[in-house]
Chains A and B, each alone.
Chain A
Amino acid sequence: MIETDILIIGAGPCGLFTVFEAGLLKLRCHLIDALPQAGGQCAEIYPKKPIFDIPAFPEVLAGDLVDNLMAQAAPFKPGFTLGERAETIEKTDDDKFIVTTNRGTKHIAPVVAIAGGLGSFEPRKPPVENLANYEDHGVEYIIKDPNFYRGKKVVISGGGDSALDWTNFLADGIAAEVSLVHRRSSFRGHPDSVQKVIDLAEAGKINLITDAEVVGIGGDGKVEHVEIKKKEGITKVECDHWVPLFGLSPKLGPIGEWGLEIEKNAIVVDTFDYATNIPGIYAIGDVNTYPGKLKLILCGFHEATLMVQSAFKRIYPDKNYVLKYTTVNGVNGF
């Protein structure tokens, strides 16, 4: 069991800055994030995009902002559970929370701060009828172990690097048959991977089906074929697996079932201290909502700062605390 003072769900800018502000109050933090790296959307969606509205930074790349936040948090030695999604929460008899991830990692803390942004990043699922019935019965959104596809007929959908790389990899003596379906004839992946796919198609080692889209699945209890739509019409392609690789999109996910007051996919908070309707659980950043809410990183920083003051009072109700300035006292890490 991982123990900490503030358990932060979401390692985006807001969650990372919470570590710093909590550290100034001598509170330890541990972060859980579904992505394999810290930084949230800034790292996953737009690391190379500039941000212009961080105070005192006329321009900063999202990826650099994350690096700076990590450096700022470092003295307070945050713990990380990355690549795992916070799944369930339970209250203990002594007023603490146990949060368990989808992989069974358990965390215990007197305060939980949800800084989950728009949610955890999940594979984007195509709106194909009966898709859910075939999940884990031939439909996979992530390739975990390529050997799983040994000797099988595989259809991959998508036009980015993961679709290209897996097509090339599985076609190299693993799968019995590989088809790559893409909506147009050009690809956005790395030029070397694109060329390799084209070479394999010309050599007859893969079926490259462009200007096409998978629009249906069929089979008795497991995938036996997919329906591929082209201009000329719909054709059936026999296969054992369909792997749609359309990137990731954020979903509020299990947090939505924690008994928190939700309004339009966001958690309702009190702007006094960003407390939710459950004492001890706070919500900051893009994941919360209140009258006048703006989804801006700078507002999230403010929310994190006020939130930790309230968290301190919850953890140490009898201790008095006076705001100290870093310029006077420096940053005294753990």
Chain B
Amino acid sequence: MENTINITVIDREGTSHDLEAPTDMNMNMMELCKSAELPVEGTCGGMAMCASCHMYIESDHELHEASEDEENMLDQAFFVEGNSRLGCQIHLADDLDGLVVRLAPVGE
């Protein structure tokens, strides 16, 4: 389909969800997960100000580097790895077709 890419989200139970993601709706990964009713909070609404959309990039896509704001907020997340990102900072675009992400564990 035009303006649609395929993205796989692995939830915290290890189940894979294959999602069709629109690239013409100005959406990001946090919003995509919420729209698919996956357990991503997105408390701050997508300003890189809460770290509740922490996810790991599992495929070898080259993403833009995390901004200082994003790095600062990842400081407040847990189990941060080299492939950690905030979903709200990953804008859905054609070059992300086939992206695989895994939701990071959440604290209490």
Q: Which residues of B contact A41 (CB under 8 A)?
A: 44
Q: Which residues of A contact B44 (CB under 8 A)?
A: 41, 45-46
Q: Which residues of A contact B77 (CB under 8 A)?
A: 246
Cα–Cα distance between A183 and B68 once the two chains are bound (Å): 14
Binary CB contact string for chain B from 54 to 90 against chain A (1 if under 8 A, 0 otherwise): 0000000000000010011011111110000000000
Q: How far is the CB of A17 from chain B (nearest CB, A)?
A: 19
Residues of A near B79 (CB, < 8 A) are 127, 213
- Given A45-B50, A249-B43, A160 and B76 contact (CB-CB distance below 8 Å): yes
Decide if A158 touches B106 in the complex (CB within 8 Å). Answer: no
Complex formed: what's the CA distance from A125 to B79 in Å?
A: 12
Contact of B75 among A46, A188, A249 (CB under 8 A): A188
Tally of contacts, chain A with chain B, CB under 8 A: 58
For residue B50, which residues in chain A have a CB less than 8 angstroms away from its CB?
Answer: 45, 249
User: A153-177: which have CB < 8 Å to B?
Assistant: 158-160
* Chain A residues within an 8 Å CB radius of B43: 45, 118, 249-250
B63 → A minimal CB distance (Å): 18
Please report the total number of A residues contacting B with Cβ < 8 Å.
Answer: 24
Q: Is the CB of A46 within 8 A of B47?
A: yes
Report the interface size for chain B: residues with CB under 8 A from the other chain. Answer: 21
Which residues of chain A are within 8 angstroms of B106 by Cβ–Cβ distance? 127
Q: Is the CB of B107 within 8 A of A125?
A: yes
Residues of A within 8 A of B108 (CB): 125, 127, 131-132
B contact residues around A182 at 8 Å (CB): 75
User: In the assembled complex, which residues on chain A have CB atoms less than 8 Å from the CB atom of B52?
Assistant: 249
Residues A183 and B74 in contact in the complex (CB < 8 Å), given A46-B49, A249-B50, A249-B52 = yes
Chain A residues closer than 8 Å to B71, beta-carbon distance: 184, 186, 188
Is B98 positioned at the interface, with any CB of A under 8 Å from its CB? Answer: no
Q: A188 and B78: CB pair below 8 A?
A: no
Interface residues of B in 32-53 (CB under 8 A from A): 43-44, 47, 49-52
B108 to chain A, nearest CB (A): 4
Q: B107 near A45 (CB under 8 angstroms)?
A: no
Q: How far is the CA of A194 from the CA of B18 in the complex (A)?
A: 43
A150 near B: Cβ within 8 Å? no
Task: Annotate A123-147 by CB proximity to B: 1 below 8 A, 0 otherwise.
Answer: 0111100011000000000000000
Residues on B with beta carbons closer than 8 Å to the beta carbon of A125: 107-108
- Among B49, B76, B105, point to the contact of A246 (Cβ < 8 A): B76
Instruction: Report the separation of the CA atoms of residues A246 and B79 in the bound assembly, to the nearest whole angstrom.
Output: 12
Chain B positions within 8 Å of A127 at CB level: 78-79, 105-108
* Min CB gap A139→B, angstroms: 12
The answer to whether A158 and B47 touch (CB under 8 A), given A127-B108, A183-B80, is no
The minimal Cβ–Cβ distance linking B74 to chain A, given in whole angstroms, is 7
Inter-chain CA distance A132–B108, complex, in Å, is 10
**A and B contact pairs by CB, cutoff 8 A, 20 listed:** A46-B49, A124-B107, A126-B78, A127-B79, A127-B106, A132-B108, A158-B75, A158-B76, A159-B72, A160-B76, A182-B75, A183-B74, A183-B75, A186-B71, A188-B71, A246-B77, A247-B76, A249-B43, A249-B50, A249-B52
Which 8 residue pairs of A and B lie closest in terms of their CB atoms, listed nearest first?
A188-B72, A159-B75, A125-B108, A247-B76, A127-B107, A125-B107, A246-B76, A126-B78
Q: A160-B75, A182-B75, A246-B78 given. 17 additional CB < 8 A pairs?
A: A45-B43, A45-B44, A45-B47, A49-B47, A118-B43, A125-B107, A127-B78, A131-B108, A159-B75, A160-B72, A160-B76, A184-B71, A186-B71, A213-B78, A246-B75, A249-B43, A249-B52
